[in-house]
Structure 1
Amino acid sequence: MDTFSSACCYQTQQTEEPWCADQGWYHCLQCTTERKTEGLKLIRALAAHHAEILLPKLHDICLAVIKEVRNLRSVVCRAAMTTLAHLYAHLQKKMDQEVESTARVLLHKAGESHHFIKEDVEVALSMMVHNCSPGRVLRGLLAGGLSHRNAAVKRCTALHLEKLAHLLGASRVLTAKKEFTCRFLTAVSKLALDPAQEVRLHAQNTLRFLGSHEACVKMMDRFVPLRDKTAIKGILSKTR
């Protein structure tokens, strides 16, 4: 059983009045904390059982959920992150257009000190990695975390780039379209040389994973910045 299905807070009951729920979530999000969590629960129910109702207004729904991810009340914030996880899991590639904005807000929450917030961020981003288009996922991760000043945010970015690499496999990463391979290798190389050990760990793991493929050295020579090549080749040499 994966992390998502084993998390009891992600269980959603089917709503018997989907059209009422479609109207209700918006009104709930304008109200008190308790009502906000009820509104987010309605969105999760619609995503699981009546996705066709959500899709025409998906952008507006994601903007509303993003707003609640930023809510200072942790109960609302966590419910909103759970809701994004549901949207990724149930709508899958239909969430592609919303990946960049939703990934950005999730990654920024990874910089908070509360352990349970970090866990919710990682579960939601894992759902994104496993269910949305790889190109969109890469773009979202890089836009939200690659150049962030907070080491915890960059660590979370590196972790999910590692997950994406393992999901796709080394061959697909290294032989994909030029833009994808270039952006992926440039980003992972930068993170592999980050001052923070927790960031370097996941990025270097990714490089070692890719290093087992015969095309890796050639792609590194092609895409890794000249100033970083010697250090990156040193990391790759440990895989051989």
Structure 2
Amino acid sequence: MFAQMNVADLHTHLGKIMDPEVERTGGALLLKLAQTTNAFIHQQANFALDALVQGSSPARIMNVLFNMGSKHRCPAVRASTARHLHLLADIMGIDQIFEAGKLFAERFLTAVSKMAVDAAPDVRHHGQILLQGLAYQNEFSAMWVKIIPMKDRVPLQKILQKMRHNLTKGGTMLPLVGAELKPVQLYRHLLRCCRQLPTEAMQKHYRHAIRQGYTSHADEDDQERVQMIVQRAVVDADWILTKYSKNK
């Protein structure tokens, strides 16, 4: 536990100076998730991975997440990998994935395409949102056709079609991952999402949570952190709407 906290501190304070250690420390943290089901240890490992992703070079992060995390048999490892690929996309901006080099983009797209049809719901959730964001980029189609076999693209195309239908249903369009929203735009978007919840009690609960969150971050002046908070809120709102729409 203390080792994980130390790793988080090192990556937080040293940033890219820790790049040579990313594959070793990142790999160890992912393996820790496979070695235990203890929720607290999982939380600490994911916290350390958050710091690693936020402070390290994207190419280094991609190496460990793609080579070890995306192919692991343990659902907890794959879920953490999906979450941290999503975080990486939030930090970089989804439009920058294809600008980061051919190898990086191909690896990212390959991983996301697998995540989108993963057996684990948490993995699928992140994979499908990322796939949707990538699909709006100009470079997506050519690379997707080139590296993803037709038999794998067919179910993914159905997923994309369904997501686009769901996003436009009711006249509410969810922001894409990587889109820069101002806090007030996010606030309005989240309130619109509340109106889609099935009961008045749920709507009241989430409206209160939204106002609290908006107030608690009102003094935040780091624009990169603001956008990370915004994108995480968009993802969380999408997850909540999806959850309750399935329960109808």
Structure-2-length-normalised TM-score: 0.62
In 2: Cα distance, 1:239 partner to 1:98 partner: 40
Where does the alignment leave 5 or more consecutive residues of structure 2 unmatched?
166-248
Q: How big is the shift at 1:174?
A: 2.1
Q: State the partner residue of 2:8.
A: 85
In 1: Cα distance, 2:150 partner to 2:67 partner: 23
Q: How big is the shift at 1:97?
A: 1.1
Asked if structure 2 preserves the Cα contact closer than 8 Å seen for 1:100 and 1:144, the reply is no
Q: How big is the shift at 1:239?
A: 3.2
- Amino acid in structure 1 at the alignment position of 2:48: A
Tell me the C-alpha RMSD between the 2 structures: 1.6
Choose between structure 1 and 2 for higher RCO, CA contacts under 8 A separated by at least 6 residues.
2
Q: State the partner residue of 2:20.
A: 97
Q: State the partner residue of 2:148.
A: 224
Q: State the partner residue of 1:205.
A: 129
SS in 2 for 1:125: helix
In 2: Cα distance, 1:118 partner to 1:99 partner: 18
In 2: Cα distance, 1:180 partner to 1:233 partner: 22
Q: State the partner residue of 2:164.
A: 239
In 1: Cα distance, 2:7 partner to 2:87 partner: 18
Distance 1:213 1:239, change over 3 A: farther
Where does the alignment leave 5 or more consecutive residues of structure 1 unmatched?
1-77
Q: Percentage identity across aligned positions?
A: 37
Q: State the partner residue of 2:204.
A: none
Q: State the partner residue of 1:38.
A: none
Cα deviation digits, residues 51-104 of structure 1 (max 9, x gap): xxxxxxxxxxxxxxxxxxxxxxxxxxx110011111111111111111111111
Q: How big is the shift at 1:208?
A: 1.7
Q: How big is the shift at 1:189?
A: 0.8
Q: How big is the shift at 1:146?
A: 1.5
Bigger Rg, structure 1 or 2: 1
SS in 2 for 1:239: helix
In 1: Cα distance, 2:132 partner to 2:2 partner: 36
Q: State the partner residue of 1:189.
A: 113
